[in-house]
């Protein structure tokens, strides 16, 4: 099969840890052809096309690929198109989902499904599953934010379009910077944010639970914040420790898995702190390599199995 990966610039991708690289290596090991393009290489001209170059994956994490000269190719000519472009989910990302959705109409198999990605904000997506969610507020009104802080005493504030731990603040009721933080976050009422009651179990890790084809990977990656830091994200300096899913992790995963898979979300990353679901990541979920390296479980192989099965199910 021929797989096209829509990626950030190849030179920016770290071969030793990147989930997309793990996927591509697994695909190549099965005899599939791997191609890549950037988001800006997608275009429509009597059909949706990309300037796509064939890749050869090496076994060297520092020098992980060999790329051939890109050529014009219709997205429908690939067996699967995998959109692995990292956020931010800005207008260019939104435009890419429109182009990818048109490519679907022309016969392309796109993962995750563009409409499903567009409809699932990674922060607000938790609201559908309220039984697993700590007290949460979404608003652009600073007075509501302050009332929420007064009620819960210790809260986390985050922007709805952030990633990797950026623009996340812990605010306590007596924090002398509280008003300037809220003012900066909501931009005078022009920008909606999310506030969540602080969950002390973050000390035990912010767990990334992966769903592949609606089924949970048996291990989560507990991301532990470095000393003096609230954020546990790996991009913010957190340390990842793989561990078996708890019974409650599995309950969350088995509740959400079939629902999200039915919408065309082949790969989802759930963020779980203690017993609470905090995010539903659908754009470019990560942590394959960390789990594989620490446990030996073949996450990329599980993903390829699900991808191949999904392609077959969509083929007339």
- Known catalytic residues are 123, 158, 208, 223, 231, 271, 279, 281
CA angle, corner 255, sides to 254 and 261, nearest 5?
80
Q: What angle, 0 to 180 degrees and rounded to 10, lies between the N-to-C axes of helices 288-295 and 19-29?
A: 70
Q: Count of CB atoms within 10 A of residue 176's CB? A: 7
Give the C-alpha separation, 107 to 140, whole Å.
40
Give the C-alpha separation, 138 to 144, whole Å.
9
Beta-sheet strand order (sheet of 154-159): 136-139, 193-197, 154-159, 168-172
The CA-atom distances, in angstroms, between 131 and each of 97, 256, 272, 275, 281 are 30, 11, 13, 10, 18
Map residue 154 onto helix, strand or coil: strand
Contact by Cβ (8 Å): 23, 4: no
Is 31 buried (19+), middle (13-18) or exposed (0-12) by CB count in 10 A? exposed
DSSP single-letter state for residue 315: -
Q: List alpha helices for 108-239, DSSP H.
A: 114-119, 142-152, 178-186
DSSP assignment string, 240-256? EEEEEPPHHHHHHHHHH
């Amino acid at each position: 099969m021929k797989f096209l990966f829509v990626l950030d610039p190849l030179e920016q991708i770290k071969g030793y840890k990147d989930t997309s690289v793990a996927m591509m290596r697994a695909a190549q090991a099965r005899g599939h052809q791997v191609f890549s393009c950037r988001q800006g290489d997608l275009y429509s001209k009597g059909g949706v096309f990309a300037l796509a170059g064939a890749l050869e994956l090496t076994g060297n994490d520092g020098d992980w690929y060999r790329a051939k000269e890109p050529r014009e190719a219709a997205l429908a000519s690939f067996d699967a198109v995998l959109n692995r472009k990292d956020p931010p989910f800005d207008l260019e990302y939104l435009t890419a989902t429109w182009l990818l959705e048109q490519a679907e109409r022309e016969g392309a198999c796109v993962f995750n499904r563009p409409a499903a990605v567009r409809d699932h904000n990674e922060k607000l997506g938790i609201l559908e599953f309220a039984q697993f969610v700590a007290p949460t507020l979404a608003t652009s009104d600073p007075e509501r934010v302050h009332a929420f802080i007064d009620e819960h005493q210790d809260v986390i504030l985050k922007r709805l379009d952030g990633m990797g731990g950026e623009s996340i603040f812990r605010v306590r009721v007596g924090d002398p910077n509280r008003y300037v933080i809220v003012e900066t976050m909501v931009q005078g009422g022009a920008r909606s944010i999310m506030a969540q009651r602080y969950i002390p179990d973050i000390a035990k890790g912010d767990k990334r639970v992966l769903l592949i084809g609606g089924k949970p990977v048996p291990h989560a990656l507990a991301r532990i914040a470095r000393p003096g830091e609230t954020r546990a994200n790996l991009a913010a300096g957190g340390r990842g420790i793989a561990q078996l899913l708890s019974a409650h992790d599995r309950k969350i995963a088995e509740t959400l898995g079939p629902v999200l898979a039915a919408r065309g979300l082949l790969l989802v990353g759930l963020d779980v702190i203690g017993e609470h679901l905090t995010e539903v990541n659908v754009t470019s979920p990560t942590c394959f390599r960390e789990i594989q390296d620490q446990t030996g479980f073949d996450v990329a192989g599980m993903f390829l199995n699900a991808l191949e099965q999904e392609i077959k199910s969509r083929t007339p």
